[in-house]
Amino acid sequence: MFQSFENRADPSQGRPRLSALRSIMEKEGLNGFLVPRADAHQGEYCAPHDERLSWLTGFTGSAGFCAVLNEKAGVFIDGRYRTQVKEQVDLAVFTPVPWPEVKLKDWLAEALPKGGVIGYDAWLHTASEIEDLEEALASRGFTFHPTTNLVDKIWPDQPAPPQGPITPYPEALAGESHVSKRARIAKTLQAANQSATVLTLPDSIAWLLNIRGSDIPRNPVPHSFAILFATGQLTLFVAPEKTSDELRAHLGPDITLRPPSAFLPALHSLQGTVRIDAKTAPVKLSLELAESHATPAWGDDPCILPKARKTKAEIAGTQEAHLRDAAAMVEFLAWFDAQPAGTLTEIDVVTKLEETRRNSGALLDISFETIAGTGPHGAIMHYRVTRETDAPLKDGQIIVLDSGGQYLDGTTDITRTLPVGQVGEEETTAFTRVLQGMIGISRLRFPQGLAGRDLDAIARYPLWLAGLDFNHGTGHGVGVYLCVHEGPQRLSRVSEVPLEAGMILSNEPGYYREGAFGIRLENLIVVQEAAELSGADDRPMFDFLTLTFVPLDLRLIRADMLSTGERAWLNAYHAACYEKVAPRLSHDAQMWLSRATQAI
């Protein structure tokens, strides 16, 4: 299996490891040290070598950081992880801090009112992050000091850096050659009078060069750095062990391969104006560029937006991947419904779902660790079942099942909430409100130029009417056989990036009652130009094309709560599920799908 069920969180190790870190901090003359969940590439997911936050604290979430002081250690986590963190860290020595409501600069100012020297690894923090801290706390006497990573010094069995092979990605699926992409990005550099740009994000480099890697579990990206010049030529800094004759032939003569050790010297040799993304590049780069003859120009990674605007080939491939994945999901759901209540556990569910995906013959990996939380576990938004936490599915509970697959032609991400036996009215009412939010986004038509923050409330409105809400964004961007979480597009109250045609997003409202149950529903959608309407204003508008076609459980829906429009959308969606997916199914699953998509 791709997924394993070992317990990676060990709160019992937090106290001795924290003590060891504080000892070395004292030797280094530091009053604090920052431990982010980040690597030098600032990706959301890390290789085992870079899981410093998890090793130190026990917290395994995909976002967060720890600020270690002499007397306090704060673990900063957002709303997705506030239940999880309490179960994974030793609360006697680590204090969960609600972030971003509580800013690190404010926490430090209160914890160290007389100032102090805070150490940090310059490879693991962005330039904007450190600059903001320095500006906010300089008047209070704080100094931020780059140093070697202190966690690495006390981690005796730290895994080696990953050395996964890099492979070409088919141009037919990408929809554009890497020669064309490089020329396109080079023109943006020329227009800005910039001689080069430094690329550090693995998915940007993978997209630009039409390559994929295997350095990060669940995310097919390579660890590398690149310098793209305004001529369109590029130098790729990557371990030779990852390359092959096939890769070199794919890259061609305009791309030079150099080992990672040559990266910093190459920065020193740059001249002219060099673009660097202060929000994603490690501060180490700006420190090194300061010693060169180049002039840094702060600007967005020039690959981020072009990567987000999917080509027709990428959208077509993603649609096929989602239909293949939908067939696997329906085969699983038919099996699930055939099992008597009380006979399954969470691990049984995860194992069977991966099996049905594997049966397609096209699954290359899961796109993230499957979330299968029944009863109270469902309220832990990013719950990961282990052999120690594996719970039986009891009659009357609901289970949140959030999963996805990595296929060569697309990345999938789908959440369904399922009943186990007879479920109570409280759960079905909440489920219906979550469904109404998802339908609201699915039916939405909106003027071009709006950002995710302008749409997020649509998904929450039915919950707000009942005084309910959820502590995560409504949706994230998704790549094409790349990262399942992809920026810059989001459906979130904090996202200011205008949505554009071709952007893929998740549509996943939810509701979570700690200690009782959780609900989440998720489809993937893609932004497209909306069809013209008779009598409408002469203004360009977008709507969403649904990519996911798996039925929503009718047993959890209170039909009396749905409006006429919501009911019509649901019936049309279920009709499309049957039409598109039934031909791909076994006989038994096809019969199940026929019943699961009946009109209401």
283 Cβ neighbours under 8 A, 6+ residues apart: 122, 125, 126, 127, 129, 130, 146
Q: Does domain 309-596 fall into CATH 3.50.50.60?
A: no
Written as six digits, the tokens of 445 are 């038509």
Domain boundaries, the chain: 11-154, 167-307, 309-596
Using CA atoms, how far apart are residues 245 and 234, in angstroms rounded to an integer?
A: 18
Report the pLDDT value the prediction gives residue 11, as an integer from 0 to 100: 85
What pLDDT band is residue 227 in, cutting at 50, 70 and 90? very high
Residue 481 reports pLDDT greater than 80:
yes
pLDDT, residue 8, reads 74
CA distances from 554 to 331, 336, 558, 570 (A): 17, 15, 8, 10
Instruction: Specify the pLDDT at position 113.
Output: 78
Measured CA to CA, the distance from residue 378 to residue 372 in angstroms comes to: 7
Rounded to a whole number of angstroms, the distance between the first and last alpha carbons of the chain is 38
Residue among 532, 549, 550 nearest 541 (CA): 532
Q: Do domains 11-154 and 167-307 have the same CATH topology?
A: yes
Contact (Cβ atoms closer than 8 angstroms) between residue 357 and residue 363: yes
Mean pLDDT of 182-204: 97
pLDDT at 424 over 90: yes
Mean pLDDT of the chain: 95
The pLDDT of residue 375 is above 90: yes
pLDDT reported for residue 61: 86
For domain 167-307, the CATH architecture is 3-Layer(aba) Sandwich (3.40)
pLDDT in tens, 96-137: 999 989 999 999 999 987 889 999 999 999 988 999 999 999
State the pLDDT confidence band at 585, using cuts at 50, 70 and 90. very high
Rounded CA gap, 413 and 401, in Å?
Answer: 11
Question: For residue 82, what pLDDT is reported?
Answer: 87
Nearest to 397 by CA among 427, 371, 352: 427
Contact 30, 118 (CB under 8 A): yes
Per-residue model confidence as pLDDT tens digits over 135-159: 999 888 999 999 999 999 999 999 9
61, β-bridge pairs? none
Supply the CATH classification number for the domain 11-154: 3.40.350.10
